[in-house]
Amino acid sequence: MATFLLLGSGELGKEFAIAAQRLGQKVIAVDRYANAPAMQVSHAFEVVDMLNGNELDKIVEKYKPDFIVPEIEAIRTERFYDYEKEGITVVPSAKAANFAMNRKAVRDLASLELDIKTAKYRYASSLAELETAAKEVGFPCIVKPLMSSSGKGQSTLKSPAEIPNAWQHAHESSRGDITEVIVEEFIKFEYEITLLTLTQSNGKTLFCAPIGHRQENGDYRESWQPAEMIPGDLKAAQEIAKKITEALGGAGIWGVEFFVTEDEVYFSELSPRPHDTGMVTLAHTQNFNQFELHLRAILGLPIPEITLDKMGASAVIISTQTSMRPTYKNVEIPAAMPKTDFRIFGKPTAFAGRRMGVVVSYDDLDSDMSVVRERAFQSAKEVIVTN
């Protein structure tokens, strides 16, 4: 039995902990608040400020884990290099965690070192710098915190008048203590995808079928698998994903995001862990879902192939109000729907716009994806988060 120190215990961490439990592993769940979702299914838990390096050191010393698995960005990741020197495996690697948790590091790696196609971009550390950067990139443009996830803190600017609000929004939504933001050229893409990429210590890099997704206010609302892609575009995305994950090193699942235009595939972002849009893999679309793949790769278990067995869709259950003890109405609706299931994340509190659960739906590969998506979306919309 290996010991996993899970840093970040949200809904993705919960599904990973469940996968680990099924293979007899020990999980210690860590987060900044008590009763986080993964804590509810782990052997032990700790509530600490993971941006406090000393607190992080104490937890590592207490449990002496075999593996450290980051699930969020707000971690003092520079400590990971020391943990690796002590013989602890950081997933997927200390370098990957440090680079991918910060948009500046991973974007410069992709664009400047690996010569991967990205949107034009600039950085800004003040409102004045943001005004200059936006002018250089051109309008419309997108402003994001350097450290955030799931689109949080993102703004699309159409004119200079929107810059002050974008600066404030990015700072309020940033994770960690980095104040710098990235300003990106607005790419007029036809669609965007997540390519779940699996790296193995003793095996070849594998790819899940591409996942399409829809965002609202910069946050994931729906995803579906497989997303339709021209074979040449899919091959280009796979080559880019393989190139950047090899540069970062380590074994595990990566969520690599792309914009696809009429004639180009642009690298967008990368997460060195299971991805929120990859919740769709809970709909039995693959022989292993993304959490099982992540775990097996970490343990060094052979994964000869990833098969696409069904088409699937996910839609999130969103809270519209604040609740200190959330309950759920109408869960019988997705429960009664054919080829459909749901997950309640178990977050101890709710607020307007917070993801509280997900509905997944599936069907045979020759079915109509629009029907599967609608089934998941309408079912999720019926579930009400209340006091």
Residues involved in catalysis: 149, 151, 257, 269, 276-277, 355
Give dist(CA 231, CA 180) in Å, integer. Answer: 37
Which of helix, strand or coil describes residue 272? Answer: coil
Residue matched to tokens 């600039």: 122
Give dist(CA 42, CA 101) in Å, integer. Answer: 24
Is beta strand 181-185 parallel, antiparallel or unpaired with respect to 340-344? unpaired
* Inter-residue contact 316 to 376 (CB < 8 Å): no
* Inter-residue contact 271 to 244 (CB < 8 Å): no
Beta strands in the chain (DSSP E): 3-7, 26-31, 44-47, 67-70, 89-90, 121-124, 141-145, 155-157, 181-185, 191-199, 206-207, 211-216, 219-225, 252-260, 265-271, 311-318, 327-329, 340-344, 355-363, 384-386
